[in-house]
Amino acid sequence: MFAERFHMSEGLLRMLNPRKDYLKREETLHVVSVGRSLPSNEARTVETDKTNGMVRALDATGKVIAMHPATIGSEETPSPEGEYQVVRVVKNATYHYDPIKNFQQGNNKRRLALPKGPNNPVGTVWIELSKPTFGIHGTPEPSRISKASSHGCVRLTNWDAEELAQIVRPGTTVRFIE
């Protein structure tokens, strides 16, 4: 929780705080200062670069206003091609799984609704796209971004998904590029 909150790996948190008891209320921890301010512009286009595993938000002039590492699809369940639009942004979404509409998860053949929160499969933000069942979302495992595949969606760390959610609106173009 502390590592994610301060945008750092668990290993770096442990290295900066050797011999600390993370459960003690009065314990002082050293963390990374992430005092980055949000872009003031609204994103007009979001490019998801499948080859480089990056998401770029561009303003009306085409200037990059945000850029984030991402996990974009997989060979088994690739992300779509082409252009779509943001339909809606949902913070702390309940995750709905339907094996008929989505991918097959193990032997499960029934629909599931997993409670909202940072540890559900879409993390703290779901940015729904006009392509059914596809979106840009957070993750409960930020250390796996760019290192593991997704089921076709675009996965960001929760903090990057939250930043992107603040600068996109319904109608924002999302372009998948190779």
The residue type of 101 is K
CA distance linking residue 145 with residue 149, whole number of Å: 8
Q: What is the layout of strands, in order, in the sheet containing 71-72?
A: 64-69, 54-58, 45-49, 173-177, 82-91, 125-129, 135-137, 154-155, 71-72
Residue 137 among the catalytic residues: yes
What does the block give as tokens for 99? 């094996």
CA distance linking residue 3 with residue 1, whole number of Å: 6
What does the block give as tokens for 173? 């173009």
Give the contacts of 52 (CB within 8 A, at least 6 positions apart). Answer: none
CA 163 to chain centre: 10
End-to-end CA distance of the chain: 34
CA distance linking residue 128 with residue 133, whole number of Å: 8
Catalytic residue of the set 30, 68, 96, 137: 137
Residue 68 among the catalytic residues: no
Q: Which residues are part of the catalytic machinery?
A: 137, 153
